């Protein structure tokens, strides 16, 4: 007990010393209103301080990443379309979102709808996706069915006058994406793709750093999202009829984040490998953006990758800490451009550096440390609620689209993905 009490006092002591940036300035910083701490060096106490400083945010309450729209949200009742794994994660996240409550589960079968509703204490269940009408008890539908079903389910909701948040990929083709956007615009209904990473505090911080010029002129970017799975035609990821494929399941994250940072690419090149079920299982993509930024994206259903995002510029690089879909910090590494002629390689220091012992020490140092400065942007809850709060903020502001994830942007991402699929063709 005494040990627990002193550990608690220690954490409180560090938390008390911490000045949260949101309290240090009167106004929250645009785009970032989340726990932030710079970790200097590798010092354990600084890391402990950073974690304790996030306080309730780290434990799962309270903090959220405000966008430029401010903090007001409207109260919303949500309908959950589909009872798969992502719906469960989403509903777990929903309870951390201001003003949002799950009110209805929509499923192909009443049984699985009821099981899901019971697990999360959701009061209403509807059997069949066609059963939804204007009178159904919800304000916003979260569409988490396979990509091939997104357009049908989203348009049914839109025509019933309901707002929609549609899982990534927005649709299974650009033609379907346009149909959804046209329907939403014609009905004057709010519609957004659930590209949740765009609302994650670390992603917002990375974009701010890039825009502020923290890495100088941006010239390069790399993103990857690759996991290894047993090929299985019963799994949506491997089923072309249901909109599977590495791009739709995983590659859409780096592609969408690069669109968010640099706009739509001007050129797209790609190689890939198509599996026995007919979906692309691997893709290596090159993109060129206006202004000359060049980027590479790797995605795979069959191989593990580095699963990060890194932006490189003339004066350094900034990368996610943590996985590309749910990062919890950024690592900023600065570097002054090197000049030819400064180092002849003949000076005493230069010659000494090339000896075995200094090289061993530098490897040891490299093993114990990683270069760059880390800012932790720990997310609250499981991170899915940030996008939900964005929906609430947009509805409060009377917007039909989120400025952070516009319909045109979802269409442009689908265009890029269709082009990549075209380039890959049936490469095996
Ligand atoms: N944001 C994220 O982190 C994340 C993670 C994973 C997936 N996703 C996205 O979420 C969506 C759903 O993915 P998932 O992996 O959960 O898909 P899934 O397991 O194949 O399907 C999800 C649910 O959709 C319903 N459904 C409706 N029509 C269906 C059909 N023709 N075939 C199969 N199921 C059908 C089923 O629920 P009922 O039986 O109740 O009708 C099923 O449980 C996809 O767009 C995917 O890309 C997002």
CA distance 227 to 305: 7
Mean pLDDT (the chain) is: 86
User: Per residue in 220-274, pLDDT tens?
Assistant: 999 999 999 999 999 999 999 999 999 999 999 999 999 999 999 999 999 999 9
Domain ranges of the chain: 76-194
Closest ligand 1 atom number to CA of residue 166? 45
Reported as a pLDDT band with limits 50, 70 and 90, residue 3 is low
Instruction: Answer whether 244 contacts ligand 1 (Cβ < 6 A).
Output: no
pLDDT band at 212 (very low <50, low <70, confident <90, very high): very high
**Looking at residue 382, what is its pLDDT?**
95
More confident residue, 65 or 330: 330
Please provide residue 124's backbone torsions phi and psi, each rounded to the nearest 5 degrees: -115, 150
- The pLDDT value recorded for residue 73 is 85
* Ligand 1 pocket residue status of 386, Cβ below 6 Å: no
Separation CA 289–CA 189 (nearest Å): 32
Give the Å distance between the CA of 185 and the centre of ligand 1.
25
**pLDDT at residue number 23:** 21
- Across 343-397, the runs of DSSP E, i.e. the strands, are 373-376
Lowest mean pLDDT among 44-48, 175-179, 181-185, 294-298: 44-48
| CB-based contact 277:202 (threshold 8 Å) | no
**Strands, E, within 237-368: which ranges?**
265-274, 280-289, 294-300, 309-313, 316-321, 329-334
Residue 344 pLDDT > 90: no
Residue-level pLDDT at 27: 27
Specify the pLDDT at position 239.
Answer: 98
pLDDT digit string, tens, across residues 87-125: 999 999 998 999 999 999 999 999 999 999 999 999 999
Q: Is residue 14 scored above 80 in pLDDT?
A: no
Residue 173 near ligand 1, beta carbon < 6 Å: no
Closest CA to 139 of 165, 116, 171, 172: 165
How far is residue 266's CA from residue 407's CA, in Å, rounded to a whole number? 19
Where does the pLDDT of residue 208 fall: very low under 50, low under 70, confident under 90, or very high at 90 and above?
very high
Residue 211: DSSP 8-state: H
CATH of domain 76-194: 3.40.50.720
Q: What is the dihedral of CA 44, 45, 46, 47, to 10 degrees?
A: 50
Q: Look at residue 426 in the predicted model and tell me its pLDDT.
A: 83
Least reliable range by pLDDT among 46-50, 112-116, 183-187: 46-50
- pLDDT, tens digit, for every residue of 287-326? 999 999 999 999 999 999 999 999 999 999 999 999 999 9
Residue indicated by tokens 């994250």: 253
- Asked whether 262 lines ligand 1 (CB < 6 A), one says no
CA of 262 to the centre of ligand 1 (A): 30
Instruction: Look at strands 309-313 and 316-321 and give their pairing.
Output: antiparallel
Note the pLDDT of residue 380: 87
Q: Residues 16, 18, 20, CA angle at the centre, nearest 5°?
A: 120
Mutate to test the pocket of ligand 1, among 79, 80, 85, 86 (most ligand atoms within 8 A of CB): 86
Looking at residue 67, its pLDDT comes to: 65
CA dist., res. 175 & res. 198, Å (int): 24
Q: Which atom of ligand 1 is nearest to the CA of 326?
A: 3
Give the pLDDT of residue 205.
Answer: 96
Q: Per residue in 395-417, pLDDT tens?
A: 999 999 999 999 999 999 999 99
Q: Where are the alpha helices (DSSP H) in 44-128?
A: 44-53, 55-59, 85-94, 110-120
Greater confidence (40 vs 185) lies with: 185
- Cβ–ligand 1 contact at 154 (below 6 Å): no
Encoded tokens for 143: 């569409």
- For 12-99, strand residue ranges (E) read 37-39, 76-81
Q: Whose CA is nearest to atom 26 of ligand 1?
A: 145
| 239 within ligand 1 shell (Cβ under 6 A) | no
């Amino acid at each position: 007990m005494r040990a627990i009490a002193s550990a608690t006092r220690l954490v409180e002591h560090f938390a008390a010393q911490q000045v949260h940036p949101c309290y240090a300035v009167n106004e929250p910083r645009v785009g970032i209103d989340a726990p932030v701490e710079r970790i200097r060096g590798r010092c354990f106490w600084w890391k402990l301080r950073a974690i304790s400083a996030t306080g309730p945010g780290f434990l799962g309450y309270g903090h959220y990443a405000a966008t430029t729209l401010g903090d007001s949200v409207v109260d919303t009742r949500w309908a959950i379309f589909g009872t798969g794994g992502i719906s469960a994660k989403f509903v777990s996240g929903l309870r951390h979102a201001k003003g949002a409550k799950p009110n209805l589960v929509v499923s192909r079968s009443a049984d699985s709808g009821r099981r899901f509703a019971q697990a999360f204490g959701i009061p209403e269940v509807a059997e069949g996706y066609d059963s939804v009408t204007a009178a159904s008890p919800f304000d916003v539908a979260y569409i988490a069915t396979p990509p091939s079903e997104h357009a049908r389910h989203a348009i049914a909701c839109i025509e019933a006058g309901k707002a929609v948040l549609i899982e990534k990929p927005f649709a299974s083709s650009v033609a379907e994406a346009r149909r959804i956007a046209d329907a939403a615009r014609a009905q004057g209904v709010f519609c957004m793709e659930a590209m949740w990473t765009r609302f994650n505090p670390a992603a917002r911080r990375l974009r701010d750093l890039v825009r502020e010029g923290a890495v100088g002129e941006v010239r390069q970017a790399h993103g990857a999202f690759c996991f290894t799975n047993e090929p299985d035609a019963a799994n949506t990821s491997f089923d072309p009829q249901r909109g599977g494929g590495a791009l739709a399941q995983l590659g859409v994250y780096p592609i969408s984040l690069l669109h968010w940072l640099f706009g739509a690419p001007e050129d797209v090149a790609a190689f890939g490998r198509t599996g026995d079920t007919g979906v692309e299982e691997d893709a290596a993509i090159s993109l060129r953006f206006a202004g000359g930024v060049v980027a590479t994206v790797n995605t795979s259903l069959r191989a593990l990758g580095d699963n990060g995002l890194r932006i490189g510029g003339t004066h350094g690089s900034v990368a996610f800490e943590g996985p590309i879909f749910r990062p919890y910090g950024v690592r900023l590494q600065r570097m002054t451009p090197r000049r030819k002629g400064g180092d002849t390689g003949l000076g005493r220091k230069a010659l000494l550096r090339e000896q075995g012992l200094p090289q061993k020490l530098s490897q040891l140092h490299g093993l114990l440390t990683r270069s760059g400065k880390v800012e932790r942007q720990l997310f609250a809850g499981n991170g899915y609620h940030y996008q939900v709060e964005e929906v609430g903020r947009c509805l409060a502001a009377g917007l039909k689209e989120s400025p952070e994830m516009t319909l045109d942007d979802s269409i442009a991402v689908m265009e890029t993905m269709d082009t990549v699929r075209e380039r890959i063709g049936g490469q095996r």
